[in-house]
């Protein structure tokens, strides 16, 4: 306890630097093309059209080409470098610094190449016949956690089975997030599918972090005002929806509610729950899956065993209703994760048990926390006591 109090004193000043701003929603498109590949609009025209359509950020993803964005940057509008890596599959690389040449690539090669540049890999139009990806291929990718569930262009050509594939992967405990996009090649393709990201600020790092963590929803016109999960109830509030479906394993509809808002009380038997919101105009939105466990183990998600111990920063941070902590174990270990207040007093023990090697997530809800700063500590040791890991990080709760 004395050790914790000393650490708290040392970190208290730095805690005050955590942003107090409320988390906001930002609208963006992550799949577009310009005349640098097969798009019909020049980069400056494409950027201007999206800006005029109320978008906050844009990723230009020309085929096998990274379009320079520096000359199009304007205050209050975010541009992110990207590329559609084009081979027998199409994979968007978001946040790239250099072009990726997909010579003889497999899906694994593309995902790994994006990872090497610390980008986000997104599998595009997975059920479109020319680039069709199959369950086993996607499931076996340990670093692929995003796929398009609505591509406006291929949807117009009659390919509508992305959601079936998504639910099949989720039912097999593959952690993968669903993205909507325009796949814009022409002016008429613009503003048909997008993502809305919940982020502290409109910056590349913050937006990328939120996308990576699945802190966004996908839409073709439905606008949501809030998505909450307190560990017991999932709450959805929309601005222009009139029907909300809560969906679980194998795409089974768990509950349907008429109206702009709805709650779903967790029964405990669900593996995951996602929501689909729609209106009478045929517009839709899809939330990301919430896995109904305090933690999500690595098995069944196509993940490789980590090479070392690590605990990530909780996300989102600051948080209101909930946040999550991701940690990694290279071997089976004794793990203890605890929360402390700024006085160094223990607030809660999140984990205190033997855990298998792999990737894990801990869900924290704010029900038992007051507004303010907290520290969370992870201590882990291998069963033979040859390896030991100890780290402390800070977080902020805003009620």
Query: pLDDT tens digits for 284-304?
Result: 999 999 988 643 444 334 456
SS3 label, residue 374? strand
| Comparison of pLDDT for 341 and 300, the residue scoring more | 341
pLDDT tops 60 at residue 221: yes
What does each C-alpha distance from 345 to 229, 311, 399 come to in angstroms? Answer: 26, 21, 20
Structure tokens at 370: 């007051």
DSSP type of residue 32: B
DSSP type of residue 184: B
- Condensed to tens digits (0 to 9), the pLDDT of residues 71-129 reads 999 999 999 999 999 999 999 999 999 999 999 999 999 999 999 999 999 999 999 99
Output the pLDDT for position 19: 41
Pairing mode of beta strands 57-60, 78-86: parallel
Backbone angles phi, psi at 175, to 5 degrees: -80, 105
| Comparison of pLDDT for 320 and 7, the residue scoring more | 320
What does each C-alpha distance from 239 to 4, 190, 398 come to in angstroms? Answer: 45, 22, 24
Residue 9 to residue 165: CA distance in whole angstroms: 50
Structure tokens at 361: 């997530």
CB contact set of 267 (below 8 Å; sequence gap of 6+): none
Half-sphere exposure of residue 36: CA atoms within 13 angstroms, side-chain side: 21
Taking the CB of residue 10, how many other CB atoms lie within 10 A of it? 10
Contact in structure between 20 and 27 (CB atoms under 8 Å): no
CB-count burial class (<10 Å; 0-12, 13-18, 19+) for 174: buried
Output the pLDDT for position 18: 40
Quote the radius of gyration of the chain (alpha carbons, Å).
21
Tell me how far the alpha carbon of residue 1 is from its chain's centroid.
36
pTM of the model: 0.74
User: Which of 37-46, 65-74, 156-165 shows the lowest per-residue confidence on average (mean pLDDT)?
Assistant: 156-165
């Amino acid at each position: 306890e004395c050790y914790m109090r000393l650490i708290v004193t040392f970190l208290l000043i730095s805690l005050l630097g955590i942003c107090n701003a409320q988390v906001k929603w930002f609208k963006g498109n992550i799949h577009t093309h310009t005349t640098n590949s097969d798009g019909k609009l020049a980069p400056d025209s494409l950027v201007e059209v999206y800006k005029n359509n109320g978008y906050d950020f844009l990723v230009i993803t020309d085929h096998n080409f990274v379009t320079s964005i520096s000359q199009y940057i304007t205050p209050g509008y975010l541009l992110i470098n990207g590329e559609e890596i084009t081979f027998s599959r199409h994979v968007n690389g978001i946040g790239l610094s250099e072009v990726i040449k997909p010579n003889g690539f497999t899906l694994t090669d593309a995902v790994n190449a994006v990872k090497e540049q610390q980008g986000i890999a997104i599998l595009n139009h997975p059920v479109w016949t020319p680039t069709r990806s199959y369950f086993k291929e996607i499931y076996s990718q340990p670093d692929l956690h995003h796929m398009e569930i609505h591509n406006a262009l291929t949807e117009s050509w009659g390919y509508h089975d992305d959601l079936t594939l998504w639910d099949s992967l989720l039912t097999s405990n593959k952690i993968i997030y669903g993205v909507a996009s325009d796949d814009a090649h022409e002016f008429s393709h613009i503003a048909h599918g997008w993502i809305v990201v919940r982020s502290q600020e409109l910056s590349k790092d913050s937006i990328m972090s939120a996308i990576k963590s699945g802190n966004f929803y996908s839409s073709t016109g439905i606008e949501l005002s809030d998505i909450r999960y307190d560990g017991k109830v999932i709450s959805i509030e929309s601005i222009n929806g009139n029907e909300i479906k809560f969906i679980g394993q194998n795409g089974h509809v768990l509950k349907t509610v008429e109206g702009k808002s709805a709650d779903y009380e967790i029964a405990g038997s669900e593996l995951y729950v996602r929501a689909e919101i729609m209106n009478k105009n045929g517009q839709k939105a899809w939330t990301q899956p919430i896995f109904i466990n305090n933690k999500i183990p690595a098995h069944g998600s196509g993940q490789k065993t980590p090479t070392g111990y690590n605990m990530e920063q909780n996300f989102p941070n600051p948080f209101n209703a909930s946040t999550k902590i991701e940690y990694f174990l290279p071997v089976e270990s004794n793990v203890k994760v605890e929360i402390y207040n700024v006085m160094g007093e223990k607030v809660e023990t999140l984990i205190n048990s033997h855990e298998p090697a792999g990737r894990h997530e801990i869900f924290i809800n704010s029900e038992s926390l007051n507004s303010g700063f907290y520290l969370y500590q992870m201590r882990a040791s291998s069963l033979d006591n040859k390896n030991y890991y100890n780290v402390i990080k800070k977080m902020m709760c805003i009620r």
